[in-house]
Amino acid sequence: MTESNLVVLSAGDAALALDITGPDLPRVLHWGVDPGLRADDAAQVLDAMGRTPRHQAGSLMPSQGKGWFGRPALTGHRDGRVRPPRFELAEPVAVRAMDGCGGAVHVRALDRGAGLALDTELQMTEQGVVRLRHALTNTAAGTYTLDGLACVLPVPAHAVELLDFAGRWARERSPQRAPLRQGVWSRESRRGRTGFDAGLLLAGAAGFGFRHGQVWGVHSAWSGNHVQYAERLADGTTVLGGGELLDAGEIRLADGESYRTPWVYFATSGTGLDGISRGFHEMLRARPRHPATARPVTLNIWEAVYFDHDPERLHALARTAAAVGVERFVVDDGWFRHRRHDRAGLGDWYVDEEVWPDGLRPLADHVHGLGMQFGLWFEPEMVNPDSDLARAHPDWLLADPERLPFEQRSQHVLDVAHPDAYAHLLERIGTLIGEVGIDYLKWDHNRDLADAVHDGRPGVHAQTTAVYRLLDELRTRHPELEIESCSSGGARADLGILDRTDRIWGSDNIDPIERQAIQRWTGLLLPYELIGSHVGSAPAHISHRDTELAFRCATALFGHAGIESDISGWSKDDLTALTAWVSAYKQLRPLLHGGDVVRTDHPDPAAWVHGVVSRDRAHAVFAYVQLDTSVAENGAPVRLPGLEPATRYTLRVRPELSSPEDTWPAWARRTTAPALTGRYLAQVGLAAPYLANRPGRALVIEARAQPAAAPE
């Protein structure tokens, strides 16, 4: 809605109110839970929130010249000379707003003295998520060097706690929580990829949890160097911000040239972290390019065979996979020339004639004949020094040619922004897609970008945009192709890469206890259908921890499910159990990949409760997972959130997804299933399973709404 000088965008339970009085840039008066603003509230809101002309709190581009002394959103210079920018509207603010449905604002502003033009796009999606980006144009003679350009939104004073993530290989997105104090809390990635610790940075009211409290979050949709930060000034003004993290001299704009930031996403919720998830998940599912088909059960051969490729063995593994219900068979690393270990061959994208004398087409045809899709692993952005490619084209490395960076994983980075390197990758991958019959690419990225130099200048921005362009071109040429983003596991999981790919690999660690946490926090931003989650071997290959098959299956269920083990050697009983799990996943995936993710703020830190509830609240599945031994002898009641309060639900344990029956509570063993209201299940709950001393066990509960009683 718009009235006078007030613009209000609202959708879901969120609202954003902008003062567009001018001549300064619009100022955010409110961003948070929708307070029910109406068109005739305009004058009162502007009076109540203040019209002080010099105060920059809430400005879409705050500047010191107008009284802002926080981290600048825009920094740059002209060969060391500066004229601090003070933008003013160049034309009326363009508004496309619809009550209750979001909308968009476009702002065109100029600083003629500084020789800069700014175009700002602010959109609120129908799900209440705000996304913001700026485009800066040099309108004067000479070069303008851009040092930084961030997108910021204000949060209120009662946001007093921060939640963000630490992380490393095999333990992505480990939560850390702290008070929001005065100063800047900045999370920055300079590794040339999103990072194991990246995702959302969140600020919230005291004690916020999964199901309660007001929360605000920011996410930079960029797969290269980036920043997300929270800042509280001495006057109490607080902002969340994000954007690309630029290196010195990386963006130099000649007269007429522009730089556009990545989209920075902002979400808010009055119902805790689950509300943040709901907004992002619904927004992602509404995308035109969101995967439209059921997410196929995927078997990846990496932990089954590693580099020991043998055509006969893989043909047999494919037959076993098809027999248990697998729908996609992916050949991982090791299929190309010289690749018998990870120290050679990377970049030589030709099928190894010694291992595969007839090529990969016979295996792909065999897989297709069994009714499965065929996938193949690539790591296009990297190269081993011991490779034909590196020996032939040392000038294609993303590095100073006279001083290479350290080798990481026996790899260097290929400069995808180099036109010849780009053309080579496009030809090689495109040719193999056609020759082999590839339905799916697993696109890996296994080392950090260190000392990234492109044509003598910092090269991470050019590399990131070139990779985006390559992915876009492959998808245009092969519209049925699906692509997975993998980066040493989950180190490139952001909304920029997901504009071009169909899922991310959650982590190289598929120990189910570790994966419970990784998937919980990755799922804060991404819905389950975008997170690859596989049943592995016992013991797990990375942690060497042994867990029961039921727990591995219950963990992998809540994701884009798959298998990563040599199941051709499994026992008959285990294959029977695996087949039953695959069948259950296929039955439940419309719910898992279309419903609302819910998580209980469970009082026992040794056990978690989470689930998915259908949008109509008629069907739900929940998991109680024991991660450690509990202090109490009896587990806390299992509360099931998100159901319709007045509706009565019939409950049952899914045995093919749960630990043995001797761990079930008494109610689950009765022949007559309990039927309780959603309010009772959320507030009181059910007796916990007998798992206090048995980590690595799970109970999966299905709930179905009973039909409403017919009127008498």
By annotation, the residues acting in catalysis are 444, 508
Q: For the residues of 174-235, what is the DSSP string, one character each? A: EEEEEE--SEEEEEEE-SSS--TT-S-EEEESTT--SSSB-EEEEEE--SSSEEEEEEE-TT
Q: Is 161 left (phi over 0), alpha (psi -120 to 50) or beta?
A: beta
| Positive/negative CA dihedral, 77, 79, 82, 87 | negative
| 572 known member of a binding site | no
Structure-token pair, residue 563 = 């298998």
Cis peptide bond prior to 262, omega within 30° of 0: no
* Cβ atoms of 460 and 189 closer than 8 Å: no
| 333 known member of a binding site | yes
Alpha helices by DSSP H, listed for 433-496, are: 460-477
CA dist 349 and 390 (Å) reads 12
| 332 known member of a binding site | yes
Give SS3 for 348. coil
| 235 known member of a binding site | no
| 79 known member of a binding site | no
Structure-token pair, residue 676 = 């309780």
**Strands 103-111, 88-89: pairing kind:** antiparallel
| 409 known member of a binding site | yes
C-alpha angle with apex 83: 21 to 138, nearest 5 degrees? 80
CA dist 240 and 587 (Å) reads 41
CA dist 448 and 104 (Å) reads 37
Structure-token pair, residue 30 = 């409110």
| 486 known member of a binding site | yes
| 508 known member of a binding site | yes
Alpha helices by DSSP H, listed for 602-675, are: 666-669
Residue type for position 263: W
- DSSP label at residue 404: -
Residues in Cβ contact with 106 at an 8 Å cutoff, skipping those fewer than 6 apart: 93, 94, 119, 120, 121, 122
- CB atoms under 10 Å from CB of 608, counted, come to 18
| 541 known member of a binding site | no
- DSSP label at residue 92: P
| 444 known member of a binding site | yes
* Cβ atoms of 562 and 533 closer than 8 Å: yes
Annotated binding site for substrate: 169, 332-333, 409, 442-446, 486, 508
Annotated binding site: 169, 332-333, 409, 442-446, 486, 508
